[in-house]
Amino acid sequence: MANFTEEQLIRLKAALHKRYLYLQKEIRNELAHAEDVSDFELAEYVNNIPDDIDTALVDRQINEMRELEMSMKYLSELEFGDCIDCGNEIGFERLLVYPSAQRCIQCQTQYEKAFPQESGPSL
Ligand SMILES: [Zn+2]
């Protein structure tokens, strides 16, 4: 795991959590009829998205939520902050801005070149 201070870890954890809740809210807004559903039901909707919904956008948000879940898991396993491709540190500032980042900037750039259709938020 990358070397973060306790304070940096707390801030990263908060950034992850905030982003996750934001995405959850956005997805709920898009699944307008699903406003009052529980998290469990939301997951059900996510697996059976009606045709009239902008699935590209929802797909992207769900993808990011999965990445955030992965990051939170890494955080609890003390593997957080390392690039999944090269193993180098992703960097505190990058993670703070983009908490679901799984790669360092160099690897992300290469990844987006290799898979342009999957490119997420660019930095
Ligand atoms: Zn890397």
Burial class (CB in 10 A: 0-12, 13-18, 19+), 25: exposed
* pLDDT (mean) for 101-107: 94
Compute the distance from residue 27 Cα to the ligand 1 centre, in Å. 30
Compute the distance from residue 12 Cα to the ligand 1 centre, in Å. 19
* pLDDT (mean) for 84-108: 93
Compute the distance from residue 119 Cα to the ligand 1 centre, in Å. 16
Compute the distance from residue 30 Cα to the ligand 1 centre, in Å. 34
Structural domains in the chain, CATH included, are 6-114 (1.20.120.910)
- pLDDT at position 90: 94
The whole-angstrom separation of Cα 42 and Cα 8 is 31
The whole-angstrom separation of Cα 25 and Cα 54 is 15
* pLDDT (mean) for 56-75: 87
Compute the distance from residue 89 Cα to the ligand 1 centre, in Å. 7
Whether pTM > 0.85 for this model: the answer is no
What is the tens place of the pLDDT at every residue in 36-65? 656 666 666 666 666 666 778 888 888 899
- pLDDT at position 36: 61
Tokens in use for 25? 């809210």
Taken in order 100, 102, 105, 111, is the CA torsion positive or negative? negative
